[in-house]
Copies of this chain bind each other. A is one copy, B any other.
Amino acid sequence: MRIGVLTGGGDCPGLNAVIRAVVRKGITEYGHEFVGYRNGWRGPLDNLTRPLDVSSVRGILPRGGTILGSSRTNPFKIEGGVEKITANLAEQGVDALVAIGGEDTLGVAAKLYDQGVQVVGVPKTIDNDLNATDYTFGFDTAVNIAMEAIDRLHTTAESHHRCLVVELMGRHAGWIALHAGMAGGANVILLPERQFDVEKVAAYVEKRFETEYSPIVVVAEGATPLTGQMVLQNQERDAFGHVRLGGIGQWLAEQVEERTGKESRTVVLGHIQRGGTPTAFDRVLATRFGLQAIDAVHDGDWGKMVALRGTDIVRAPLSEATAELKTVPIERYAEAEVFFG
């Protein structure tokens, strides 16, 4: 069989580990052939390919990013996109696709499958917000990077008796903030799943200042204050037209400083959360995902994606990739709240 591999969406530590596992097992155990498609769905759309054999995947396991490149191209939003892809696959003699990506990439995969393309998916979301799987690779790396940053910030906060607000990734789900905040000993953790009360945050901050330690507030980028408090914020930001400049972290630090009289600063971790070498957890998970994906291809089990359940790697319908978002449940947030203040 001749199999195309592509990676789509935001980059994520572990993508190369998946590619390596797919190719290695596909060639050495099943005798398949591979073609690497560049830049997500742009690859099969424009026939952007690169060779993909055993030697080209040697040494890539510890490397972040993706050797195939990525993009957010959606062939269903391009006129004639799907026809072009199926024609190109046929022309190149590509029998099947392994698509590695998030909701968007796998959503395209699911639709192509409906149209007869033989495709298997590997889920990727650094935010860990996919219901079908216990964890996705990249998440553990992001959490560790954020935790190490919080570890560093504790000493600065204490030396200066300051409050530090750390803004982490998470537009719609707060998993990174929850785990990094718990692991980093944050004094308050604010998630998109639950509007927060600025007054309560300020109270936690003041309580912490009564100890010899200083407060660290972790806030997911998508967290929002209670409705009344929000209106004020949006108006303020609209007036300047630069909404994206000052995120929720900066706004919150200003509010905390105003209410507590304590110097408060913001750190926005941004892109460093998603780059660099993956943790062991992510390397092992991504490798096992890749192995299961090529097994599914070999079995002709099309329209499936791989997933982690407990310690097992299983297969689930591709359609689950676009199902409801996995958000932080109230019980998990309650665990974190034990340590607030």
Copies in the complex: 4
A109 at the interface (CB under 8 A from B): no
Select A275's contact among B10, B63, B152, B281, beta carbons within 8 Å.
B152
Residues of chain B within 8 A of A211, CB atoms compared:
55, 58
A248 at the interface (CB under 8 A from B): no
Contact A69 B159 (CB under 8 A): yes
Contact A11 B242 (CB under 8 A): no
Closest to A144 in B: B280
Give the distance in Å from the alpha carbon of A79 to the alpha carbon of B61 in the complex.
Answer: 44
Give the distance in Å from the alpha carbon of A127 to the alpha carbon of B291 in the complex.
Answer: 24
Q: How large is the interface on A (under 10, 10 to 19, 20 to 34, 35 or more residues)?
A: 35 or more
Give the distance in Å from the alpha carbon of A135 to the alpha carbon of B281 in the complex.
Answer: 12
User: Interface on A for B, CB 8 Å cutoff?
Assistant: 7, 10-11, 13, 15, 21, 24-25, 28-29, 39, 55, 58-59, 61-66, 69-71, 134-135, 140, 143-149, 151-156, 158-161, 164, 179-180, 182-183, 185, 211-213, 240-242, 245-246, 250, 265-272, 274-277, 279-281, 283-284, 287-288, 291, 309-311, 335, 338-339
Known: A13-B155, A61-B183, A269-B272. 15 other contacts (CB 8 A): A10-B160, A24-B338, A65-B154, A65-B159, A70-B159, A134-B310, A140-B280, A151-B275, A152-B275, A155-B276, A156-B271, A182-B283, A183-B280, A240-B241, A245-B246
10 A-B pairs with CB atoms under 8 Å apart are A39-B161, A61-B183, A66-B159, A70-B159, A144-B281, A155-B275, A179-B280, A240-B242, A245-B245, A267-B271
